[in-house]
Amino acid sequence: MLLAIILTLMPSMLFSGFLFPIFTMPYILQLYTSVFPARYFIEISRGIVLKGTGIGELWPNVTLLVAYTVIVFLIAATRLRKKVA
């Protein structure tokens, strides 16, 4: 469980923009942050809570989160089907 936390949760928090602003990171790490869905969630949360923006301005982030969710769900469903069947 500790290994799972170190490999998933810590990088997700560090590269989401929650602790450190993304624009202050080196360019390579800025590109790397786009892998983590927490980045898009943080941008959506900040947009809604701090700026009061609507879905019209946040739709790229919402679309990426939905796409990520669908991809992870499909991978999980195919892996489960292989184990059960």
Q: Count Cβ atoms below 10 Å from residue 58 Cβ, excluding itself.
A: 19
What's residue 80's pLDDT?
87
AA identity, residue 59: W
What's residue 21's pLDDT?
93
What's residue 63's pLDDT?
95
Q: Which structural domain, as residue segments, surrounds residue 61?
A: 2-84
What's residue 8's pLDDT?
87
What would the pLDDT profile of 17-73 be if each residue is shown by its tens digit?
A: 999 999 999 999 999 999 999 999 999 999 999 999 888 899 999 999 999 999 999
Spatial separation of the C-alpha atoms in residues 52 and 69, rounded to whole Å = 25
Domain count, the chain: 1
What's residue 84's pLDDT?
66
The residue behind tokens 């301005």 is 57
The separation between CA 56 and the C-alpha centre of its own chain, rounded to angstroms, equals: 20
The separation between CA 63 and the C-alpha centre of its own chain, rounded to angstroms, equals: 12
What's residue 85's pLDDT?
58
